[in-house]
Every structure is written in C-alpha cells, then in structure tokens.
C-alpha cells in the first residue's frame, strides 16, 4: 500500500532530549493491586504453575504430537470462540492460553497475552502540547515497535499520523494582490500564503531536521472518544469502550466490514489489507488481548493508549519516547494526575469538537 507509507527516517532533532522523568502515570503510593486477583491473567498464572488443568493438558498433548498440530488445533478453536467481552472468565483464560501457545510457536519466543481488566476509579486521558511538538515522529516509531504493527514494503501500518501545519503569512507585497471585480472594486484578496488551513496539513514531510521554523505539528491518533461513532456503527460489537476509557477491538470477532473506518472523524483506524508482516525478532512479546497482540489479515486495528502498559501503571510508548515532553497521560478521575493538571491549568482544546464525540485526547498550549 504505497499510500500509507511514511519512511521512518530518524529525523535529527534540534531540541535537547529531555525524557519524561517519571516512568509511571500512577502516583508512587498507589502501587497496589495492579492485577486484580480475579483477572484472567492472574488465574492463568496460577493455572500454569499448577500445570494440571485441562487446557494445559491438551496443550501438552498437542506439543507432544508435533507443533503443526498445535497450530492447527489452536486456530481451529480460535475460529469458534465468542466475543471476548461476553466470555466467562474460564473462556477468556482458555482463549488467552490458546493465543499464547500459537504466538509463542509462531514468533519462536515466550509470548504472553495479558487479560488484565480495567481498574476501578480510573479513566484514562491524554493531553498533547502542540506548542512543544517538534514533529520528529519518534512517537510513531515507538508506537509501531511497541504495538506489533505490520511493517515493511508490503504493508506498513502506523497508528499515529503527524501533520505539519505551515504557519503561513500575510505580507505587505501581497496586500493588493486581490480579485478585482466589476467596476474595479476588489472582491477578495490573496494577501496570505497557506495561512495554516486546518486539516490541510502536510502528511509526508521529510526535512533534514525538525522542527522547521515556519511550521508547527499536529499528531493525530485515536481520540478514545466517550461517544465513539465507530462503536455505534459496528454490526457485531467487536469494538467497544472499556470501563477505564480506551476504545478497543476484539480482533478475533471483527468481520472486516470497515464501517468503523468510515465513521471515524479522526482517521484513526487501520485495516490489515494483507497478512501482517511482523518479523520474529522485532515482535514485542508482552501483549494484551485487547491491545498489541499480533493481528490477522482482514481486521481493523487502532491505538488503545497502549492498554498492555497503562493497565500496569506504565506510560504509553509514545509518552515515554517523546523527546520534548509534549505528551501527558494519566487518570482523569485523579485531580493530581498529570493530565488533570493540564486540563485544570492550560488552555485546552479538542480536535473537531463540533463532531460531539467527546475525545479523551486533548490538545493544549502553555
């Protein structure tokens, strides 16, 4: 898909690298109960160590009979599993177990699929300082590495799109460079050049170095809307809002109709047109069922705020990597969280607020 390609050149930045000093969005004293005891991942862990459950026995039996069979058996069962949200805890654990086996064989490393549920009292929100963003696209790259997107010539998927917005200018010389109408009366003017026409930004900028003096940058990814149009149009409810905020997709339930792609006002969703290309050595083995686990062809995917990280108190990969600290993240329900401080103190706006989607992704300036 030549049109979706952005060469991920490492663009040298003029800014100094100041990484976020804190590595967790959660206050330090709140470090308990990351895994709720009832979460499938925890139970799965117990099961695995006991090693006597049916699922693991079947798994062992299959392993003995040869790896090809494991793959065949697991994908066969995967075909008939239900919608993740409606599975019982046991079914979830089984589904996760199946996936872990399949992925581990496929990528030749120990892959974990996390099923950690939402924590109570948490609603994730994001704030991006467009004044600080230098357009280096490190977030795009970090996101791809973290979230196991397809990469390479055949199909390159990126969840974040950074737009370059030219500032434009009004000049004395162009003052009278207008449209003359009848009677010699000027009916319009041209006294501007590309005066930052919103949403006509440059998608494929490739300068020697960033930031360019005459531009600012606008990264766009999934807004995790409170009223997500994509969720409403889905005919099979494979995409839904999790209790802690992110809008997620059960990749095994998606029928690939792409209604959600049509409905999203932020162009945040991507489709696996072909079989995803994910080199074994680059595959991130720490995955979440609703997040960065490897996808299959014919399904939709998108940003989940790195659900595999945030449910364990970590920052999304893009927040962690941002060299200028433009990205802030945290619990919207906690008055002391970074994101809440931004909302309380800075001048904040949401992209396409008129669409009434109530994004939980905010833009701000100092």
Partner 1 sequence: MNVMIKFVLDYLGYIIRGDKKYYLWLGFLALFIIPWLYGNFMQLKYGMIVTGLTDQVSWGLYLANFVFLVGVAAGAVTVVFPAYVYKFEPLHKVSVLGEMLAVASVVMCLLFVLMHMGRPDRLWHMIPVIGIYNFPHSMLTWDVLVLTVYLFLNLIGGFYFLYKKYAGEPLNNKFYLPVIFIAIGWAISIHTVTAFLINTMPARPMWHHGMMPIRFISTAFAAGPALIIIVFLTIRKNTALWIEDKAIDLLSTIVVACLTIALFLTMSEVVTELYHPTEHSAGLQYLILGKHGLENLVPFFWGSLVAMVLGWVLLMIPSIRKNYNVLSFICAMLFLGIWIEKGMGLLIPGSIPTPIGEFTQYSPTLLEIGNCLGNWAIGFIIMTLLLKGAIGILLGDVKYSK
We find the least distance from the C-beta atom of residue 7 to partner 1, in angstroms, to be 16
Distance CA 264, CA 342 (A): 26
**Whose Cβ is closer to partner 1: residue 254's or residue 324's?**
254
**Whose Cβ is closer to partner 1: residue 1's or residue 333's?**
1
We find the least distance from the C-beta atom of residue 333 to partner 1, in angstroms, to be 27
3-state helix, strand, coil in the chain (%, to 5): 30, 15, 55
Distances, alpha carbon 176 to alpha carbons 325, 328, 352, in Å = 43, 45, 34
We find the least distance from the C-beta atom of residue 55 to partner 1, in angstroms, to be 23
**Whose Cβ is closer to partner 1: residue 58's or residue 290's?**
290
Distance CA 93, CA 88 (A): 9
**Whose Cβ is closer to partner 1: residue 297's or residue 345's?**
297
Tokens 């003017």 identify what position? 189
Distance CA 283, CA 50 (A): 28
We find the least distance from the C-beta atom of residue 16 to partner 1, in angstroms, to be 30
Residues 6 or more apart whose Cβ sits within 8 Å of residue 172: none
The residues that bridge with 164 in the sheet, in sequence order, are 202, 217
The DSSP bridge pattern shows strands 209-210 and 124-129 to be unpaired
**Whose Cβ is closer to partner 1: residue 11's or residue 257's?**
257
We find the least distance from the C-beta atom of residue 53 to partner 1, in angstroms, to be 27
**Whose Cβ is closer to partner 1: residue 5's or residue 14's?**
5
Return residues touching partner 1 (CB under 8 A): 1, 3-4, 79, 83, 86, 154-155, 157, 161, 163, 197-201, 203, 220, 229, 232-238, 253-259, 261-267, 269-275, 297-300, 355
We find the least distance from the C-beta atom of residue 365 to partner 1, in angstroms, to be 20
Distance CA 197, CA 165 (A): 8
């Amino acid at each position: 898909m030549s049109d979706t390609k952005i060469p991920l050149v490492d663009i040298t930045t003029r800014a100094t690298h100041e990484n976020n000093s804190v590595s967790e969005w959660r206050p330090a004293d709140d470090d308990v109960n990351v895994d709720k005891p009832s979460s499938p991942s925890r139970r799965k862990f117990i099961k695995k160590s006991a090693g006597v459950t049916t699922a693991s026995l079947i798994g062992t039996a299959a392993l003995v009979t040869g790896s090809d069979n494991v793959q065949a058996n697991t994908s066969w069962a995967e075909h008939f599993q239900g919608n993740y949200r409606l599975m019982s805890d046991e079914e979830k654990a089984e589904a996760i177990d199946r996936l872990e086996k399949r992925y581990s064989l496929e990528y030749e490393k120990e892959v974990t699929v996390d099923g950690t549920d939402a924590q109570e009292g948490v609603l994730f929100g994001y704030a991006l300082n467009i004044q600080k963003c230098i357009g280096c696209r490190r977030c795009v790259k970090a996101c791809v590495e973290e979230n196991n997107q397809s990469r390479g010539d055949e199909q390159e998927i990126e969840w974040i799109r950074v737009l370059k917005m030219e500032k434009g200018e009004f000049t004395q010389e162009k003052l009278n460079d207008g449209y003359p109408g009848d009677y010699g009366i000027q009916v319009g003017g041209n006294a501007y050049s590309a005066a930052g026409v919103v949403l006509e930004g440059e998608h494929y900028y490739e300068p020697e170095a960033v930031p360019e003096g005459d531009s600012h940058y606008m990264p766009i990814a999934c807004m995790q809307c409170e009223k997500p149009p994509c969720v409403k149009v889905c005919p099979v409810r494979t995409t839904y809002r999790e209790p802690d905020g992110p809008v997620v997709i059960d990749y095994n339930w998606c029928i690939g109709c792409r209604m959600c792609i049509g409905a999203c006002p932020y162009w945040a969703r991507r489709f696996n047109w072909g079989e995803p290309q994910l080199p074994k050595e680059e595959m991130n083995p720490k995955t979440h069922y609703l997040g960065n686990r490897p996808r299959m062809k014919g399904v939709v995917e998108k940003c989940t705020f790195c659900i595999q990280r945030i449910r364990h108190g970590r920052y999304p990969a893009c927040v962690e990597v941002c060299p200028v600290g433009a990205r802030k993240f945290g619990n919207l329900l906690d008055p002391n969280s970074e994101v809440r401080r931004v909302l309380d103190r800075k001048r904040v706006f949401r992209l396409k607020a008129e669409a009434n989607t109530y994004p939980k992704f905010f833009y701000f300036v100092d």
